[in-house]
Amino acid sequence: MDQVIFLQLWHQLGWPLLRLLIFISIGLLVANFIEALNWTQKMAVVARPLTQIGHLSSVTGASFSMAFFSGVSANTMLAEAYEKQRISKKELILANLFNSLPTYFLHLPTTFFITAPLIKGAAFIYIGLTFGSAILRTLAITVISHFLLPQEESPLHGQIEPEANTFKTAWKRTVKRFQRRIKKIAKFTIPIYILFFFLTRAGLFSMIEHFMAKYLSFLAWLSPKALSIIALQVAAEFSAGLAAAGALLQDGSMSYKQIVLALLIGNVLSSPIRAVRHQFPYYAGIFKPRLAMQLIFFSQAFRTLSIATVALLYYLLVF
């Protein structure tokens, strides 16, 4: 019996936590190695047109480029720069929001190959709209940053340390920083992840999600079938809502427009709770817990606003 419990804990808690720490460690090593080699300026070239308009530093530009491949590395790069006072807290928050577009690309293949078989042509509309909302967020942050970040501060924030002469020297510096940083990350990530695991097992998040799914009276303007898709997305997961949407689309009960609107609304309602449950444990390791919660709050608020905007436009413009 004890062995069964141990195996369950290992598969449900131990291995996922170990895997998370491995990914964080890889991200930390990559971010520190890039910084030690002074590749920050080179990587920032990709986003330079936007960062120049937004008065954002080269660190933010490099983070934007890295976010296409690893969200952990991108966030680690920002956290390191913030701790060393190369960027302000204001720029840190804006930079995290600025990375919406590359972060979206990371999840695009998975999203597409889940949605396309189930809702067919509606998948292209749904993905197009969510992609549009990601572009909207990044462009909006570029404009907002232009007014919030004085131009003269950007060069100061973008300054980097003297160049490492060789890969060997850079790697030594990377390992030294990694050893110091990973201890702090583990100190926060492990207990928070364990706490959230037991809160999930206790049914806290399920209770909140079912409560949200039950009280959807403010969406009475939608059809009952659309509400069932939204309720499944909120109470279960995205794939459950997709399965319901696919079944309703198959028997002709709902149009593409109704399916897409239901999925967008379900996306808006279900994301905040899942963001806290899945993002906070690793965010709290990379950033301090209070700052991690602030970043998640701003990210989800801005994401909700952008998706709601494209959903409203789609509702008004598509007949």
Convert the pLDDT of each residue in 245-257 to its tens digit.
Answer: 888 877 777 888 8
pLDDT at 180: 75
Sequence spans of domains, the chain: 2-317
pLDDT at 144: 95
- pLDDT tops 60 at residue 47: yes
Report the percentage of the chain scoring pLDDT > 90: 22
Q: What pLDDT digit, counting tens, does each position of 161-210 carry?
A: 444 456 778 777 778 878 877 777 787 778 877 877 887 787 766 676 66
Residue 188 is which amino acid? Answer: F
pLDDT at 78: 93
Q: What pLDDT digit, counting tens, does each position of 217-265 carry?
A: 556 556 677 777 777 777 666 777 777 888 887 777 788 888 899 899 8
Residue scoring higher pLDDT (315 or 143):
143
Backbone angles phi, psi at 149, to 5 degrees: -110, 115
Confidence of residue 7 (pLDDT cuts 50, 70, 90): confident
**Conformational region of residue 55, where left means phi above 0, alpha means psi within -120 to 50, and beta covers everything else:** left
pLDDT at 215: 63
Report the percentage of the chain scoring pLDDT > 70: 83
Q: Which of 200, 179, 205, 189 is nearest to 29 (CA)?
A: 179
What is the average pLDDT across 27-49? 71
Q: Which residue pairs, CB below 8 angstroms and at least 24 apart, start in 147-153?
A: 148/90, 148/94, 149/54, 149/55, 149/56, 149/90, 149/91, 149/94, 150/55, 151/55, 153/55, 153/88
Residue scoring higher pLDDT (120 or 305):
305
| Rounded Cα distance, 235 and 242, in Å | 13
Confidence of residue 2 (pLDDT cuts 50, 70, 90): low
Q: What pLDDT digit, counting tens, does each position of 269-300 carry?
A: 888 877 887 788 888 888 888 999 999 999 99
